Structure 1
Amino acid sequence: MKWLRNTYIYLKNVSRERLMVLFLVSMMGVAFFIAAFSNVQPKTYEIEQFSDAAETIRSPVTIENEEETERKTREVIQSVEDRFNISNEITNEQTAYIEEVFEAIAKMKQSQQPNNASRTLDEDPDAPPTSQEQLTQLNKLLSPEITDSISDGVLYDLLNTDVEKLEEGKELLIKSVEGIMKNGVSAENIERARDEVEQTINFSSFDNDLKSSLIELSGFAVTENSFFDAGKTAEARKEAASNVEPVVIRAGEVIVQQGQTITTETYEELALVGVLDSKYNKFPIIGLALIILLMMVVTNHEIGVFKKNNGVDKSKLGAIFFISLIILIVMKTGSLYTTSVNQLYFAVPAATGALLVKLLLNERLAIVLSVIYAILGSILFNGQIPGSLNVEAGTYFFFSQMAAVIFLGRSTDRLAILKAGIGMSAVNIVAILTFLFLSSEKYSIPDIFMQSGYGVIAAFLSAVLTFGLMPFFEAGLGILSDYRLLSLAKPNQPLLRKILTEAPGTYHHSIMVANLSETACDAIGANGLLARVGAYYHDIGKTARPHFFIENQMGATNPHDRLQPRESAEIIISHPYEGADILKNHKFPQPIIDIAEQHHGTSLLKYFYYKEQDKNKHTKEEDFRYPGLKPQTKEAAIICISDAVEAAVRSLNEPTERKIDELVASIVEDRLMDGQLSECPLTLKDLDKVHRTICETLKGMFHSRIQYPIKEAK
């Protein structure tokens, strides 16, 4: 049932860790939502019509003014003229009637022969036809439509006009009629059309009788040939309406300036964009919640990846939360003073978060959180215009943070932050100049220098804030950064000097374990620097009774010879926990304390166990085992292996490559079979790499040397 109990404890710990992560992510999401709420929910005003605006009011949304669009469309439709169909057949028919009249008259003039058939016996057959006879004959030649509309007096005058004048009158009349009817003559403008032809005839040089005749003919010829087309008219109006651009109020557009009188039209626009409505619009809030949910899902996934590779505890989760909160506060504060004119977001030190996350946690998480902070910045700096994102601000924050991650590199020197600040300044300036040159606005040289100065300020503030906040996270939350590890690894550190002076053998043993552990950790992607520093202090407990440990006896009498095996075991077994107490008293980071406490796990102190068993066959193995905990991290597990390997290799008379390889393999197998590695995240693949790396390192330490000849004294 022991395995069942261990499984239950494991699942319980996993569930607790998941709940911690979910709680952290939820708190981050709530903080982001509260900070960004005002950026998606429009501000409302209590304004009376015809009063003066107390401040400049901009539209929070992009919306169509449907009433204004309808009014504009209505005006356009009304301006469209009716469409008519012009009948060319009617035009041709009327001009044909004119030609018929003149051709008939011309024919009459050519035949000036007496019509004997129509004369009585008393009349002279050689006499020319009378006017009445000519009119009678002409009426017979003309169509009824002509004779019914044109009086005999007109025909008589035309018959008495010479041929040349008739021809000129014909050409003028036909040309005028065709010209006026070509453009269409409707029932509404027929009189105007006839007047135009009449004026043309009046301006001619003909005599009055001919003019009168031509005018009467034009009155007959000019008739309606243009008819209203309902289909074409409707189509023209529809096309005109479709070309009307909607009247749109853009987000950020000024509706009323400060001090301007609020007219009826302005008041209607304010109501339309929703700034007079005290009710909240739920859709922007839902949108904000969804984008924050997506951001938190990504964050939760990346924390899970980080936990899998590096382990996670309350301090690391707290660091993620507080760094995010700091960046949120910095961005929100900057957004309160940023306008469309000053663009102060260029001076916001958003890269502080990327620097802190990379220094305190790891690079991958820093990159992912940089993307999250950039998206958050695009919301916070949207000018409180719901539905819009400041892509320029988000892009700037992204490149600034990426510059921080890239230029910080893997250096463990605090000056690396300053170097990263210089690199960030260059990237910030390039990004700002890119935005300036891409915009259509013209900037003066002073403006360019001022905007570039914002980028330098942002980089400088990021470096300064990182310097200032690092001690808070290191001391306040117990986060172990590379800088803290380097300070603990300095030879003048009091506890290291204590080991060196009081337990020199232990000191040199610790140095060897540190070398083995660091190379092994680097090989499997664990924290090599943490392993080195942890190895330096893993045996600090031996300084309580240094001469009870063989490496410090220097050929002196072994005090265990005077003690019972059980008593000796108690002294030896106590050193990890005494060391942990010493480290706690000196306010050491918890990972170093854990390594000191866990580096023997629950392993068996075999020498004294077998020695006691020779005396008492009923000796319990549990009495000679370390109480634990077993190693919980990769670094602690590797130090556990390296500690045993270093001590064992030192006991070899001739440490050949084969002996070293077999010894390391046996120790790794012993720790694995004894269950000492069951609670750490090392895989079998990792153990294989650890085995090979430790062997290579030991072979380098115990390489063969040249045997120098000794000159014999004569």
Structure 2
Amino acid sequence: MNKSDKARIKSIKKSKASNNAERDTVVGSKNFIKNIYFFGPEAKRWYILIGLSVIISILLFPNILIHPKVYRPGDIADRDIKATREFLVENVELTEKNRLEAVKAVLSVYDFDPTATGVVERIKEAFKVGRNNINASVPAEFTGEGQGTSIDSFKNHFFEILDVPSEDNIVNIFAKSGFPSEVEEVATSLVTHIFNNGVVSNKMMLMSQSGKGIIIHDINTGEEIKAADLNRFYDLKSARNSIIEQGKTLSISATSPELTNASVRLAATLIKPNLTFNKRETERRKNIAWKSVKPFYFKVKNGEMLVREGERVKPENILKLSEQFKLLKQNEMIGQAPAMAVLVGFLLLAMYFVGLVNDRSYRREVKNILFTSFILLTIFLVVMASNFVAEETSRGFNFFSSRALLFAIPVASGAMLVSIFQGMSVAISFSLVISILASLVVGGRVEFFIYFFITSLMAANGVKDCPERGVFIGTGLKVSAIGVVLALSIEALYGFLYTLEAVLACASAIIGGILVGVVTTGILPLIEMAFGYTTNIKLLELANLDQPLLRELMVQAPGTYHHSVIVSNMVEATAKAVNANPVLAKVAAYYHDIGKMKKPLYFVENQLGRENRHEKLAPSMSSLILISHIKDGVELAAKNKLGREIIDIISQHHGTSLITFFYEKARDQSERKGGKSIQVKEEDFRYPGPKPQTKEAGLVMLADAVEAASKTLVDPTSARIQGMVQKIINKVFSDGQLDECELTLKDLHKIAKGFNKTLSGIFHHRVEYPEPVVKTAHSKRVVNGNTDQVSAGNSQANRPEDKAEAGENLKRLGLS
């Protein structure tokens, strides 16, 4: 191998190593994500708990979603409404009035321009330009004709400077006099006097403020003064009239009246408003005044009657009601509902970990949490509806309160249902949670928590081992009895023991207990169908040997049928000792081998001396036939709706155990053919599983194996039975078939004792009865035709080797 080949191989190895590392990183990250609660296998459980918490918190604060009845002025109130807390209510009318007064007090702002944007400067500039033009264009000895020609060319420029319409006569008069400074001063003084006083464009609008005055804002200096006397201000007409009147006075004393009149006319032309209303600034100050007025509030005390039933609703009542609803909705949405969701979430979490997670079957399926959540939410809604009905009913009567009717709420039916389907441990934690939530609905009263909790525990305990439907009504009557005692105690606590309300409370408690039994009886079949549960009542119906499936099994596979009956007897006698459900174990044992009906003659117990069909089949094919009875049994069970629990036990009763006979036969055949035994794969001769997940499934597996092995005993003495039981249990245990169920070594000891007792009863011995003496020459004694009867004299039960073997085996399981 040259260097290039070595380098290429080395690079390939490095590439594979990097790819493996990358793959491990990706797999690791995926596993990490799966292990996170909200993304792993527990995610659905968390989603259910969170969703249930949110729903319950919203239901506890319905104002978030439901709007109360809207009243209008003049409506009649249909109920008493009290303040649920202390709050402030804004007096909108008074606040509005105060704000309008504040706005009204704001003075209008007028911008004042004393110079009227440079009018005086423009007058001076125009006269200066006029004088300059005349001096530049007219000689000392000029003619009137030449001067007239110069004025005509200049007049347009003169009026452009003044920014007024042109008047030829005025310019001509000024030009003839050479635009004298005296005329300029007259025009300037007249204009200045008027502008200093102030000219407005709309005197009527100004006078509308005469009662308050105005604010005069000097746009040049920024100073502001208040003007109360508004009559002194001019409008355009009065300002020009004032100038004309002043001009008349000047004309009398003037040397040139014509020139004075021209200057007056020019001054009148130059007048324009210099006191302008500033609407924007005025509105701004009004807005500030509006906002500066604080709302006027009055306090509503907690428990104060906002409106009484039958009263006519007034505007102030509507104001209080709307404010209370707005405050409640805001508080509930922002703080109370989320806080309640957190509290309820932790309460449900405690229920899950304390009462539910201890039950391994509960953890295995999400449907169990879904069922418990459904019952919890349903009972919660029933409590809310019942509380509403109780309050509305009591409004029409004066001799009792709504409290007396609350004892009829069938809260205990939820605990009863949970106890039936999930067991007593789950029902206890459920009772605690639903009692807390129900007491919150009825006002957070501790006495009702005690009432709901005790009656729920009573109901759950009464049906934990229900053999028939009549138990529900009997338990309901017991709940009624304890409910009456609790109701009287609560009424006595409030001081109403010797009143009609106490009688009504007792009647409600009796009705509530009866409702618990009736509701449970009615809803039980619906839950069985909806969630696929199997109750003891249904199991007892399936335990009837006249069931069509069992009758068919007896006809098609009689050996399997009798085997199943014996297995059922074995597990029923042992189940209680290991805290398993004896009814479920017994019924599952009846049906665990129903899959053998499809090929009954391939199973030895049904051959009845006929030819063994496996002799002509390959071991691998024989193992497939044996394995197929699991799948066939599951299909038959599902078709006949036997229930999930029985179907699970059918699929688990062989676990992943090895079909030893055909596996060894295949190995022998392989060796005889010169092959290697390793070519026979052990997994091809194992059942597909899964391994038993419950005590009942483990019991059926052990009983099935022990009963089958007991048929091989030649002389089934007590010691041999014990040794055989010990051997089979040890074999199943060492094969790891019981690793996933909850059977302990102590349970295995009890199971072995129970199996020994049952099998010893089956394989019992009887004395040999003598035949009647026949008066013949050769009278004979024949053995009774019962094949199970064995002579006590011929028994080998006391053989020393059997006792030694049995003693050694029993020490391992503690049977000695």
Deviation at residue 645 of structure 1 after TM alignment: 0.5
1:335 maps to what in 2? 387
Q: Which structure 2 residue ranges, 5 or more long, are not aligned?
A: 1-23, 90-298, 395-400, 672-676, 776-816
CA deviation vs aligned residue, 1:257-310 (integer Å, no higher than 9, x gap)? 235578999899879978767632545335523431332122111354343366
2:647 maps to what in 1? 593
1:414 maps to what in 2? 469
Whole-angstrom distance in 1 between the partners of 2:450 and 2:485: 12
2:340 maps to what in 1? 288
2:491 maps to what in 1? 436
Whole-angstrom distance in 1 between the partners of 2:711 and 2:633: 23
Say whether 1:451 aligns with 2:505: yes
Instruction: Give the AA of the match of 1:575.
Output: H
Alignment of 1:338-349 (within 5 A): 338-339=390-391, 341-343=401-403, 344-349=405-410
Task: Label 1:300 to 1:407 Cα distance change in 2 as closer, same or farther (>3 A).
Answer: closer
2:515 maps to what in 1? 461
Alignment of 1:22-33 (within 5 A): 22-33=46-57
2:390 aligns to what SS in structure 1? coil
1:258 maps to what in 2? 309
Deviation at residue 510 of structure 1 after TM alignment: 0.6
2:611 is aligned, of 557, 561, 585, to 557
Alignment of 1:69-468 (within 5 A): 249=301, 251=303, 254-258=305-309, 260=311, 279-280=330-331, 282-285=334-337, 287-308=339-360, 312-339=364-391, 341-343=401-403, 344-382=405-443, 389-408=444-463, 410-441=465-496, 444-445=499-500, 447-468=501-522
Q: Tell me, yes or no, if the aligned pair for 2:487 and 2:505 is still in contact at 8 Å.
A: yes
Deviation at residue 700 of structure 1 after TM alignment: 3.7
1:693 is aligned, of 750, 754, 760, to 754
Say whether 1:512 aligns with 2:566: yes
Whole-angstrom distance in 2 between the partners of 1:622 and 1:650: 27
Q: Tell me, yes or no, if the aligned pair for 2:355 and 2:429 is still in contact at 8 Å.
A: no
Instruction: Give the AA of the match of 1:536.
Output: Y
1:70 maps to what in 2? none
Whole-angstrom distance in 2 between the partners of 1:622 and 1:708: 52
CA deviation vs aligned residue, 1:443-463 (integer Å, no higher than 9, x gap)? 644x44433222222222222
Deviates more, 1:535-544 or 1:389-398: 389-398
2:666 maps to what in 1? 612
Instruction: Give the AA of the match of 1:645.
Output: V
1:656 maps to what in 2? 717
1:172 maps to what in 2? none
Q: Tell me, yes or no, if the aligned pair for 1:39 and 1:380 is still in contact at 8 Å.
A: no
**Percent of aligned pairs with the same amino acid:** 34
Deviation at residue 406 of structure 1 after TM alignment: 3.4
Deviates more, 1:253-262 or 1:494-503: 253-262
Whole-angstrom distance in 2 between the partners of 1:661 and 1:521: 19
Instruction: Give the AA of the match of 1:609.
Output: Y
1:669 is aligned, of 719, 723, 730, to 730
Q: Which structure 1 residue ranges, 5 or more long, are not aligned?
A: 66-246, 383-388
Whole-angstrom distance in 2 between the partners of 1:638 and 1:416: 28
1:616 aligns to what SS in structure 2? helix
Whole-angstrom distance in 1 between the partners of 2:450 and 2:302: 23
CA deviation vs aligned residue, 1:288-334 (integer Å, no higher than 9, x gap)? 23431332122111354343366531332232122112212211211
1:579 maps to what in 2? 633
Say whether 1:478 aligns with 2:529: no
Q: Tell me, yes or no, if the aligned pair for 1:631 and 1:637 is still in contact at 8 Å.
A: yes
1:686 aligns to what SS in structure 2? helix
Instruction: Give the AA of the match of 1:630.
Output: K
Whole-angstrom distance in 2 between the partners of 1:564 and 1:510: 28
Instruction: Give the AA of the match of 1:323.
Output: I
Whole-angstrom distance in 2 between the partners of 1:28 and 1:519: 42
Deviation at residue 42 of structure 1 after TM alignment: 12
Deviation at residue 486 of structure 1 after TM alignment: 0.9
Deviation at residue 706 of structure 1 after TM alignment: 3.6
Task: Label 1:583 to 1:63 Cα distance change in 2 as closer, same or farther (>3 A).
Answer: same
Whole-angstrom distance in 2 between the partners of 1:646 and 1:540: 16
Instruction: Give the AA of the match of 1:284.
Output: Q
Alignment of 1:621-660 (within 5 A): 621-660=682-721
1:629 aligns to what SS in structure 2? coil
Whole-angstrom distance in 2 between the partners of 1:331 and 1:554: 63
Q: Tell me, yes or no, if the aligned pair for 2:56 and 2:341 is still in contact at 8 Å.
A: no
Task: Label 1:21 to 1:459 Cα distance change in 2 as closer, same or farther (>3 A).
Answer: same
Whole-angstrom distance in 2 between the partners of 1:448 and 1:277: 35
CA deviation vs aligned residue, 1:180-199 (integer Å, no higher than 9, x gap)? xxxxxxxxxxxxxxxxxxxx
Alignment of 1:493-572 (within 5 A): 493-572=547-626
1:603 aligns to what SS in structure 2? coil
Q: Could you state the TM-score of these two structures normalised by the residue count of structure 1?
A: 0.65
Q: Tell me, yes or no, if the aligned pair for 1:64 and 1:248 is still in contact at 8 Å.
A: yes
Deviation at residue 547 of structure 1 after TM alignment: 1.8
Deviation at residue 494 of structure 1 after TM alignment: 1.0
Q: Tell me, yes or no, if the aligned pair for 2:417 and 2:524 is still in contact at 8 Å.
A: yes
Task: Label 1:49 to 1:467 Cα distance change in 2 as closer, same or farther (>3 A).
Answer: closer
2:17 maps to what in 1? none
Instruction: Give the AA of the match of 1:564.
Output: A
Instruction: Give the AA of the match of 2:729.
Output: V
Whole-angstrom distance in 1 between the partners of 2:593 and 2:604: 13
Instruction: Give the AA of the match of 2:484.
Output: I
Q: Tell me, yes or no, if the aligned pair for 2:419 and 2:464 is still in contact at 8 Å.
A: no
Deviation at residue 404 of structure 1 after TM alignment: 1.3
Structure with the greater relative contact order (CA < 8 A, sep ≥ 6): 1 or 2? 1
Deviation at residue 641 of structure 1 after TM alignment: 1.4
Whole-angstrom distance in 2 between the partners of 1:378 and 1:407: 23
Deviation at residue 466 of structure 1 after TM alignment: 1.0
Deviation at residue 602 of structure 1 after TM alignment: 1.9
Deviates more, 1:548-557 or 1:271-280: 271-280
Q: Tell me, yes or no, if the aligned pair for 2:54 and 2:341 is still in contact at 8 Å.
A: no
Deviation at residue 435 of structure 1 after TM alignment: 2.1
1:204 maps to what in 2? none
Whole-angstrom distance in 2 between the partners of 1:373 and 1:505: 51
